Amino acid sequence: MFYSSFIVGFEELVKKIIEDKYPNISIKQILNGALICNTLDSNIKLPFLNNLFSVYKYERETNIIKFINSLDNIKIKKDLKKRSFRIIISDQNNLISLDNKILIKLENIIKKQTNYYVNRAKPDIEYWVLKRSEGVILFLERLNKHKSFDKILEKGELRSDLCYFLNYLSKPNKDDIFLDPFCGSGAITKNRLKYFGKLKLLFGIDLKENDIKELKKQFKLKNNIIFKKNDFFNNRFEDNFIDKIVTDPPWGIFDKIDDIKLFYQNILNEMYRIIKQNGLIVILTAYKEIEEIKTKYNLLEKYNILVNGKKACVYVFKKR
């Protein structure tokens, strides 16, 4: 079995994506921001999953010490390329320490089977005892570890796994004319191009000149990929021209906007003008009052999530 985490709030969507795109993966249980599955090739990197673990034991239990005491006969795989390990104890997303006798007992079980030595600073392998709020505890071996998003993302740039969810919700198609009207450094557009195949045209618009210059450099030989430094409201696409809009507009939290409701009203009105009948709009925002704005759209889906600790929501609208 395998265990992997994803952005909290996308539980039903993850289940749908796996059923749609990865039928060979057999889900055992969907948890809050994580899944346990019976089959998952560790060589396949699913772009919406993080922190892959192999599951040695998984059971309904609430007492960590009792669970650890049940690991006496656990069978642990040995990797001849690795020599050291440490044990991490997590109680509902909080790293905790245990009585040293309990920890040493588990370390000795692992040492006896593998001949690894304990290195609590920089080990080759991490074993985790992970207690979940759903009332289950798992004993895991970590198979991979992604870099901290804080270290690999520019300020304000969206995570690639979040971009994947947003783009998937737009039902990508090879004939799409696609638009991100607040593209910034291009996280959404680059993710669309990387993971979802061909499209007819892609437009990215933003007021940040340096971001647009950099994006133009990256895609200068692609005739169907167009980035413009412009204000979305001044760009003036033709009526009923765009198939899909996926975007992360200013939230009014980090950006000073005098009338945030009017701002979003204007966004939705302009999007309605330029998008085709039955076209889809996927918006990530912390401005949940967007639901109160009167429009001619149908709200198809809604996902409450956290982005950098801030409450946000993903909305999927369809033009009637």
What is the per-residue DSSP string for 68-119? HHTTTT------TT--EEEEEEEETTEE----HHHHHHHHHHHHHHH--EE-
Q: Do 45 and 112 belong together in one domain?
A: yes
Q: Do 124 and 28 belong together in one domain?
A: yes
Q: Do 51 and 109 belong together in one domain?
A: yes
Query: For position 101, which CATH number holds?
Result: 3.30.2130.30
Q: What is the pLDDT of residue 42?
A: 57
pLDDT tens-digit readout, 104-129: 999 999 999 999 999 999 999 999 99
Q: Do 177 and 30 belong together in one domain?
A: no
Q: What is the pLDDT of residue 163?
A: 98
How far apart, in whole angstroms, are the C-alpha atoms of residue 237 and residue 228?
12
Q: Do 190 and 107 belong together in one domain?
A: no
Query: For position 289, which CATH number holds?
Result: 3.40.50.150
The domain in which residue 246 lies consists of 154-319
Q: Do 121 and 198 belong together in one domain?
A: no
| Residue 112 Cα to chain centre, angstroms | 38
Q: Do 131 and 224 belong together in one domain?
A: no
Q: What is the pLDDT of residue 153?
A: 60
> Is 161:191 a contact under the CB 8 Å cutoff?
no
> Is 42:4 a contact under the CB 8 Å cutoff?
no
CB neighbours of 65 closer than 8 A, spacing ≥ 6? 98, 99, 102
How far apart, in whole angstroms, are the C-alpha atoms of residue 64 and residue 70?
10
| Of 179, 153, 149, nearest in space to 166 by CA | 179
Distances from the Cα of 293 to the Cα of 28, 30, 165, 268, 305, angstroms: 40, 34, 24, 9, 21
Tell me the backbone φ, ψ of residue 151, rounded to 5 degrees. -90, -20
Q: Do 124 and 170 belong together in one domain?
A: no
Q: Do 41 and 131 belong together in one domain?
A: yes
Q: Using the 3D structure, point to which of 130, 146, 162 is the last residue of a domain.
A: 146
Distances from the Cα of 85 to the Cα of 61, 116, 118, angstroms: 25, 7, 5
Q: What is the pLDDT of residue 40?
A: 64
Q: What is the pLDDT of residue 154?
A: 67
Q: What is the pLDDT of residue 261?
A: 92
Q: Using the 3D structure, point to which of 146, 177, 197 is the last residue of a domain.
A: 146
Would you state the structure tokens that stand for residue 198, as one six-digit string?
Answer: 């061909």
Q: What is the pLDDT of residue 23?
A: 87
pLDDT tens track of the chain, all 320 residues? 999 999 999 999 999 999 999 888 999 999 999 999 987 665 667 899 999 999 999 999 999 999 999 999 899 999 998 999 999 999 998 999 989 999 999 999 999 999 999 999 999 999 999 999 999 999 999 998 666 555 556 666 899 999 999 999 999 999 999 999 999 999 999 999 999 999 999 999 999 999 999 999 999 878 999 999 999 999 889 999 999 999 999 986 666 788 999 999 999 999 999 999 999 999 999 999 999 998 889 999 999 999 988 999 999 999 98
Would you state the structure tokens that stand for residue 151, as one six-digit string?
Answer: 């270290």
> Is 173:196 a contact under the CB 8 Å cutoff?
no
Q: What is the pLDDT of residue 184?
A: 94
Q: Do 76 and 108 belong together in one domain?
A: yes
Q: Do 197 and 56 belong together in one domain?
A: no
Q: Do 115 and 29 belong together in one domain?
A: yes
Render 32-62 in DSSP notation, one character per residue: TTEEEES---TTS--TT-EEEEEEEEEEE-S
Q: Using the 3D structure, point to which of 99, 115, 146 is the last residue of a domain.
A: 146
Domains identified in the chain, total number: 2
How far apart, in whole angstroms, are the C-alpha atoms of residue 36 and residue 57?
11
